[in-house]
Amino acid sequence: MEKNWYRPTILFLFIDLEKKKILKVPGEMREWYTVEEEQTLDMDIDAFHPNLRFDPELSETIDIRPSDFDPPGHVNNAVYLDFLENLIHRAFNSQKKIREVVIQFQNEISKEVSKVEIGIQQKDGLNEFKLFSPECVHAAGIKPSMKLPLSSVFIQTL
């Protein structure tokens, strides 16, 4: 039996929030990670503005566990995707893995936050989602409909 091997890829962008410009990867980061010099995005990140204000058609409250935090003290980015995947599995009674998602991280989930809510709604063939607490939206984005072919991952951090 042939095994399929997958290589996950995460794209981090360093953005100067005051000037609203993408920065070059800092020197110390270049030592730790592979840096792709070529353009790796097939979408215009400046045009991506997730809907932060919708009322979810379906949502659930999630208890933040101590294991969700990484050493710097905020919830690991991969955990955000785990929250979304669990909601989709329950909502669509599906065991399929998420293969494409566009997510924009808005505000870190700090250790002071004990619960968050994740919600989803379908609009124009896409599943919009947001991860939020009473204080703020922590992340938001889109996931193509379960019916669409899925192929890539794009992550934007503000």
Give me the amino acid identity at 139. A
Percent of the chain with pLDDT over 70: 70
Q: Is residue 106 included in any domain, yes or no?
A: yes
Q: Return d(Cα 41, Cα 13) in angstroms, integer.
A: 11
Q: Is residue 84 included in any domain, yes or no?
A: yes
In this predicted model, what pLDDT tens digit does every residue of 3-44 receive, in sequence order? 555 555 566 677 777 877 777 777 777 777 666 655 555 566
Residue linked to tokens 């951090």:
157
pTM of the model: 0.66
Number of domains in the chain: 1
Range of the domain at 95: 50-157
Using alpha carbons, select from 59, 132, 129, 125 the residue that is nearest to residue 101: 129
Q: How confident is the model at residue 139 (pLDDT cuts 50, 70, 90)?
A: very high
pLDDT higher than threshold 70 for residue 2: no
What would the DSSP string read from start to end of 68-122? GB-TTSBB-HHHHHHHHHHHHHHHHT--PPP--EEEEE-S--BTT--EEEEEEEE
pLDDT higher than threshold 70 for residue 150: no
What contacts 83, CB < 8 A, 6 or more positions away? Answer: 62, 116, 118, 131
In this predicted model, what pLDDT tens digit does every residue of 82-102 receive, in sequence order? 998 888 888 777 766 677 788
- Highest-scoring range by mean pLDDT, 51-55, 130-134, 145-149: 130-134
Percent of the chain with pLDDT over 90: 26
Q: Is residue 15 included in any domain, yes or no?
A: no
| CATH code at position 58 | 3.10.129.10
Q: Is residue 7 included in any domain, yes or no?
A: no
Q: Is residue 114 included in any domain, yes or no?
A: yes
Confidence at residue 41, expressed as pLDDT on a 0 to 100 scale: 55
Q: Is residue 20 included in any domain, yes or no?
A: no
